[in-house]
Structure 1
Amino acid sequence: MANKQIDMRKIKRIFKLYTSGVSKRRISQQLGISRNTVAKYIDFFKRYRLTAYEVEKMTLEELHGLFKADQRPKSPKLVELQRYFPYFDKEIRKTGVTRQLLWEEYYAKHPDGFRLSQFKYWYAEWQKETSPVMRMEHKAGDKLFIDFTGKKLTIVDRDTGELKELEVFVCILGSSQYTYVEACASQKLEDFIRCTENALWFYGGVPRALVPDNLKSAVTKSSRYEPKVNEVFADFAEHYETAVLPTRTYRPRDKAIVENAVRIIYNSPQY
């Protein structure tokens, strides 16, 4: 890296211009930065295999954490391992992917590399430094997070042998992370409301708010500021004297808790 780190906004601008086809010389002239410095920052993003879209979406704090982590002295083996972390960070969000599987992929290519426990430690350290986010605190009985998993469950009809696909409804209480899962025929409004009601009976109570992802059954119009809740679902919530607070679009942290539950569900032996 350059001896004196420049403004993070300017760093993001460097990579955006470069991936748009602007030459390093032209970027240097346009931003008033030496060509060597421009080249060093471009090489940094290439080394971590980051796309222009990923860099654009990173917050200034996340970008600063990434540079801070990169500037610490590291062994060649650790440097090689960390080259995989941005890729692993995308893969771990997929259903069924675990740190164990990611380590096996890494270890198959580097049999002299880190063992599983060390791999998990360094991956966790990298995540803390590159994703400095505020911890979300949840109060008991405050919110019930609701979603469909997106990955269907296949069952066999005992009488006909026919394979049938079912949707998987999941909800989780924010504080206790007590999870309810139900397979149903579809994501249609009737099935969605029935599953939600079954969950309330399962929990034996009603939270202060229901927090669905932007499902068509729950939200008729998505919006970052004023989503429009389905009228039938709104009536359902009113009947149970609770509120509906849809997750905000483009705010993945809002629904992280239910997505973690989905990951656990599909990593369980019965699936």
Structure 2
Amino acid sequence: MALNPNGYRSSQFGHYYKAWSKRVNPVMHMNHKACDKMYVDYAGKTLSIIDKDTVEIKEVQFFVAILGASQYTYAEASMSQQKEDFVTSVENAMRFFEGTPAAIVPDNLKSAVIKSSRFEPTINETLADLAEHYQTTILPARAYKPRDKSLVEGAVKILYRRIYVNLKETKFFSLEELNQQIWDLLDAHNSRKLTGRPYSRIELFLEDEQQKLSQLPQERFEIKYQSFATVMQNGHVQLSQDKNYYSVPYQYVKKKAKLLYTKSTVEIYHKYNRIAIHPRNYKPYIYTTIPEHLASTHQFVALWSAARFIDWASSIDESVAEYIMQIIESRNHPEQAYKSCLGILNFEKKVGKERLINACKRALDFKIYNFKTIQNILENNLDHIEFEQEPDQELPIHGNIRGKQYYN
């Protein structure tokens, strides 16, 4: 006042400043349509739980969601504001409301908005996936524009008085225990009459808003994580998170692939096109293979099994099937016999069914079970000798035949 003796004093300054601010910065009244928007935010002050094992006090976040028209409110505690916890809380709110609003209005936290913009903010990919799953949209509040989310900020203040104050002195030893207490107090809040009105939030919600919300999808949302890999020569990509492998069509060998995985599925993309989908397998170093993904030669090998070779041999003759069974049983592991079985059965194309049958009968009589035995019988035309005329001797000595004593 010494410098400006004719200036306004504080009361007059406040009066004229208020009149000026109304003139240059008018506040638009927000009309909220039923089921139009759900506003979500976190309270500035946190709650806490006590770890039973370490007795460590852990801070937890206080999440709030409110429907615009009825002001029906949902709240819960979560471990963090990270995208996994944030998306779960948003989904829990929609499940609580038993319907999906036309839009979800979050603040500009990183779990919702990667990059703020007045005209086209970049939505977090996980939140965008949630919106797609629930057939809704994300409309972030403008940065530094608190009036865009004044409804939820007002709800946070009210819940602070009605819920937070009643909890801060109580000790909770789990998130579930804390949330149960929050929901009990929340029921009382939603059932309380609105100021100056003869109805409560839940009454207004049931009468005006519940039936207008879109129907919830049957399946809950699963968060997608991503990984990148190059398709290996064997037609599989590795999911590094679990250290296991998933097949893709063989045409994509050596191509770059993007893996999107949830708790239950693994989707594989190449240049934005999905080329494979598999159920997720958490056991490490396991190959999950769809036979149609393999090249034709690889498909044939992949289908090798003891039962397949025995069935193939049975279609030729019982003696051939018996010989194949003896080969498989004589090995420590069935797969050790597969190439021998394949070589023997392929003789049908080379020498004909009758010669192969006779060769197997003769080899069964010798009780020597390997590919070389059948090969030597056919090369030496021993399959043509009648059994009754056959001299009482074993196979001729040959460098490639180990003899039956080798298998004793």
Partner of 2:48: 154
Distance 1:201 1:147 in 2: 17
Displacement of 1:215: 1.1
Q: Percent identity?
A: 51
Secondary structure, aligned partner of 1:40:
coil
Distance 1:195 1:165 in 2: 17
Is residue 110 of structure 2 the alignment partner of residue 216 of structure 1?
Answer: yes
Distance 1:171 1:59 in 2: 34
Gaps of 5+ in 1: 1-23, 25-34, 65-130
Structure 2 matches for 1:78-157, cutoff 5 A?
A: 133-157=27-51
Distance 1:216 1:142 in 2: 24
Distance 1:221 1:227 in 2: 6
Distance 1:264 1:44 in 2: 31
Partner of 1:240: 134
Amino acid at match of 2:166: Q
Q: Highest Rg: 1 or 2?
A: 2
Partner of 2:84: 190
Partner of 2:348: none
Distance 1:161 1:48 in 2: 51
- Number of residue-to-residue matches in the alignment: 165
Displacement of 1:60: 4.3
CA contact (8 A) 1:224 1:250 kept: no
TM-score, reference length from structure 2: 0.37
CA contact (8 A) 1:187 1:217 kept: yes
Amino acid at match of 1:40: G
Secondary structure, aligned partner of 2:111:
coil
Partner of 2:166: 270
Aligned partner of 1:165 among 50, 54, 59:
59
Partner of 1:62: 22
Gaps of 5+ in 2: 168-408
- Whichever structure has more helix as a proportion of its residues is 1
Distance 1:45 1:236 in 2: 51
Distance 1:155 1:229 in 2: 31
Specify whether residues 46 and 166 from structure 1 end up closer, same or farther in structure 2 by C-alpha distance, changes over 3 A only: farther
Aligned partner of 1:206 among 100, 109, 112:
100
Deviating more after overlay: 201-210 vs 155-164: 155-164
Secondary structure, aligned partner of 1:166:
strand
Displacement of 1:133: 2.9
Distance 1:60 1:48 in 2: 10
Distance 1:235 1:187 in 2: 18
Is residue 10 of structure 2 the alignment partner of residue 40 of structure 1?
Answer: no
